[in-house]
Amino acid sequence: MARKPMMAGNWKMNNAIGEAVVLTQEISNNWWKDWEDKVDVVICPPFVDLKPVKTVLEFDKTKIFVGAQNVYWEEAGAFTGEVSVPMIRECGCDYCIVGHSERRGLFGETNEDVNKKVRALLGGRLKPIVCVGESLAVRDEGTTNEYVCAQVKAAFAGVDADDAAKCVVAYEPIWAIGTGRTATPEQAEEVCAAVRAQLAVLFGEETAQAMRILYGGSMNPGNVDALVAEPDIDGGLIGGASLKCDSFIQLVKAVMR
C-alpha cells in the first residue's frame, strides 16, 4: 500500500510569535496547491505560536497542518503549567508530538506518560506523532531494536487498530539529534522496519503497512533523498532544518511522491 509521505517541522523552543508568523508566511508563500495530494506537511511550533501560525495558514488557505510539541492528558484542572488536548485542538492543531527524547530525557517523561498522552489525544480526535529512539549506550550494547520496539509497545498499550492507524511514529536516534551525525539510511531503515514489524504484531499487517514512520535526527536537504528512498521511511521529523524556509521547503519537495 502506498503511504502518503509526511514532512514535519519540530521548531522546539524557537521562534517567538513575530518570528513564527514571518517563517509561516514564508513557508506558505512557497506552498503549491497540487502538493497537498502528494505530501502532508506539519508545523509544530511552541504553544504560544499555535494560534498565530494557524491564523496565517487559514488566511492563506494553505493546507499545511499544525501540531503541538507536547500535551497533558487531563482535560482541565489544577495542573499548573500544563496544556490540555481540547486547548491545543481549539488552537487549530491536528497533530501533536509525544514522547520526544528531549521530553523523556530532560523532563522525565516515562513510557507510561507517553501512553496516557497518546490515548488522551486519540480520545480528543488529534493525531499523535509518537517519538521513539535509542541512546548511543543502547546502540553500542546492540539492543537498539528491542529497546525501540519496547517503547512502541508501551506507547500504544490499550490502543486499538483503528486508532493506531491515525498515528505516526517518528524514529529519532538520540545520538543523531542536533549533532549533525545522521543515521545511515541502512541503520535508519533497519530500525524503522523493526518498528513496522512490531506494529504488525500489535495491530495486524494491514494497519502496520498503512501507518507512517518518520526518521528524525540531523535530516537535511543533503541527506534526505537517501533516507526516504528506504522502504520503511515515510518522511521526516525535522529540527534545525525546519527553522529556515529554504531548507524546509527543499525537504518537503524531496519527500513528495
Ligand X SMILES: O=C(CO)COP(=O)(O)O
User: Which active-site residues does the annotation give?
Assistant: 100, 172
10 part of the interface to ligand X, by CB under 6 A:
yes
240 part of the interface to ligand X, by CB under 6 A:
yes
Name which position in 224, 233, 237, 252 contacts ligand X (CB under 6 A). 237
Binding-site residues for substrate sit at: 10-12, 178, 218, 239-240
Q: Rank residues 172 and 232 by Cβ distance to ligand X and give the closer one.
A: 172
Distances (CA, A) of 200 to 99, 114, 123, 169, 194: 21, 20, 22, 13, 10
**Which residue stretches of the chain are H helix?**
17-29, 50-60, 85-90, 101-107, 111-123, 136-141, 144-155, 161-164, 185-203, 205-210, 224-228, 245-255
With contacts defined by CB under 6 A, name the span among 30-38, 50-58, 72-80, 231-239 that binds ligand X.
Answer: 231-239
Distances (CA, A) of 21 to 87, 169, 186: 20, 28, 37
Cα distance between residue 112 and residue 74, in whole Å: 14
Cα distance between residue 132 and residue 135, in whole Å: 10
219 part of the interface to ligand X, by CB under 6 A:
yes
Applying CB under 6 A, the site for ligand X has a residue count of: 14
Q: Is the dihedral of CA 103, 182, 23, 53 positive or negative?
A: negative
Interface characters, 144-173, with ligand X (x: CB under 6 A): ----------------------------x-
With contacts defined by CB under 6 A, name the span among 26-34, 45-53, 140-148, 238-246 that binds ligand X.
Answer: 238-246
Distances (CA, A) of 196 to 68, 234, 236, 255: 24, 11, 16, 19
Count H helices, E strands: the chain? 12, 8
Name which position in 151, 218, 223, 247 contacts ligand X (CB under 6 A). 218
Smallest distance, Å, CB 238 to ligand X?
5
Q: Rank residues 57 and 237 by Cβ distance to ligand X and give the closer one.
A: 237
With contacts defined by CB under 6 A, name the span among 31-39, 119-127, 150-158, 217-225 that binds ligand X.
Answer: 217-225
> Which residues in the 39-68 window bind ligand X by CB under 6 A?
none
Contacts with ligand X, residue ranges (CB under 6 A): 10, 100, 172, 177-178, 216-219, 237-241
